[in-house]
Every structure is written in C-alpha cells, then in structure tokens.
A and B are shown apart, each in its own frame.
Chain A
Amino acid sequence: AQRVTQPEKLLSVFKGAPVELKCNYSYSGSPELFWYVQYSRQRLQLLLRHISRESIKGFTADLNKGETSFHLKKPFAQEEDSAMYYCARGYNTNAGKSTFGDGTTLTVKP
C-alpha cells in the first residue's frame, strides 16, 4: 500500500527563520507529489506539485527519488505561513487518487 509519512505533527519557528517540513513516501510506479495547505477556517488548497516546478508563496519542494522524499522549504518564514500542511502522493496521470500524510501544523512566531 502507498504510504506518505510526515514525521512532525507540530513545527514551530520564528519569523524570518528557515523552515523545512518533511515528507517521505513509499516508492512505486510514477508518483506525483503534492503539498496542500489549510489555513485557519479555510478549505484545503493545493500549494504546489512537483511536476510544475513552481515556487508558490516562497515555498519550494524538490523530489528526491533516491531518498523518496519531498520536503517543503522556505528560506524566511512569515507569520501568515502558519497553517496545516499536508503532503500527498498521486500519479502523474491522476492527481485525484491521492494518499495523504497526517499533516504538520506549522506555527510561525513573531
């Protein structure tokens, strides 16, 4: 069975500090990896997907097939980055059949 592991349930950093949210996935087939974010009282929304190779809101994530990781990084955290972050793996042909991790709550302190 596919598995996505986010080892940290809670992560707290100060404003301006670098932040890295970890994600590891079980390897099989042609995975596509995603990061979703849920801000307080808002719905779950896509932050970025690895095939797009975009930087969204200053966040980047690199797919490391050797380590089966897809860590989310931002060099300078902002208070508005405080949210729940979910890593998910789907397929490059089907983003909807996704396996999600259990999420990491990021708190950025002033």
Chain B
Amino acid sequence: ETGVTQSPTHLIKTRGQQVTLRCSSQSGHNTVSWYQQALGQGPQFIFQYYREEENGRGNFPPRFSGLQFPNYSSELNVNALELDDSALYLCASSLGLAGAQYFGPGTRLTVT
C-alpha cells in the first residue's frame, strides 16, 4: 500500500507568480482534501475533491483552484501569489467522504 505523496517538497516563488502543487492519494482513496498551514497554526481547510468534483471550499479566494484526475491524484493551483501564501500545504486522502484522512508530508511554499 502506497501512502500519500506530495511534490515538490519545497518551492520558492516570487510575488505575482503562479504555482502548482501535486498530491498522489493513497491507493484506493477517492477523496482528497487540501489544507494550508501557516507557521504556528493548525491546518486550514482549502477545498476537497471527491470523484473528480469539488466538494466544498473553505474561506479562500478564487485564485486558489484545484483539480482531481481520474486516478484520484490532485493538484492545487495558486495564481497571483502573495507573501501571505507562504505556508506548508498539506493534502489528505480518504476512502469516501467519511473515511479517515491520511496526510501527505506537505509542500513548503515560500513567496518572496
């Protein structure tokens, strides 16, 4: 059984640029949730994908968008990066909406 993987591990971008983060869900899991974790804070829910459809969004602007592919892997795209977007981005997969979440190791994004 393969766990949740995320790429890249670290990323440095300049304000105004765009970034794509990737998440491979655990084998058999069809649900992916994305979280942003600022330093010293708990993860904050961005959005969730279930069977390739967005299934809910947290309090994040439209420049945060995502995709889920037929193999249930997922992407998080952030346009027009701002300094405050600097954070650890976590994805978690689960089997179904009510299933336990399994987290990836995260992508550390730094915006300068």
> Which A positions have Cβ atoms within 8 angstroms of B?
1, 4, 43-46, 49, 86, 88, 92-103
Q: How far in angstroms is the closest Cβ of chain B from A41? A: 10
Within 8 A of A (CB), among B18-70: 31, 33, 35, 40-45, 48, 55-56, 58-59
Q: Which residues of B contact A86 (CB under 8 A)?
A: 42-43
Minimal beta-carbon separation of A24 from chain B (angstroms): 14
Smallest Cβ-Cβ distance to B47: which chain A residue? A97
Closest Cβ neighbor of B97 among chain A residues: A94
Residues of chain B lying within 8 A (CB to CB) of residue A93: 97-98
Chain A residues in 8 Å Cβ range of B48: 94, 96-97
Q: Residue A96 contacts which of B4, B41, B94 (CB distance < 8 angstroms)? A: B94
Name the A residues within 8 Å of B42 (CB-CB): 4, 86, 88, 100-103
Lowest 6 A-B CB distances belong to which pairs? A100-B42, A96-B33, A44-B103, A94-B97, A102-B42, A100-B43
Contact in complex: B97, A96 (CB < 8 Å): yes
A60 to chain B, nearest CB (A): 17
A4–B43 Cα gap in the complex (Å)? 11
CA of A93 to CA of B50 in the docked complex: distance in angstroms? 13
Contact B33–A97 (Cβ < 8 Å) = yes
For residue A51, which residue of chain B has the nearest CB?
Answer: B98
Check A97–B45 contact: CB distance below 8 A.
yes
| Smallest CB separation, A55 vs chain B (Å) | 16
A sample of 18 inter-chain contacts (CB < 8 A) reads: A43-B103, A44-B90, A46-B101, A49-B100, A92-B98, A94-B56, A94-B97, A95-B94, A95-B99, A95-B100, A95-B101, A96-B92, A96-B97, A96-B101, A97-B45, A98-B43, A100-B43, A102-B42
| Minimum CB–CB distance for A79 against chain B, Å | 24
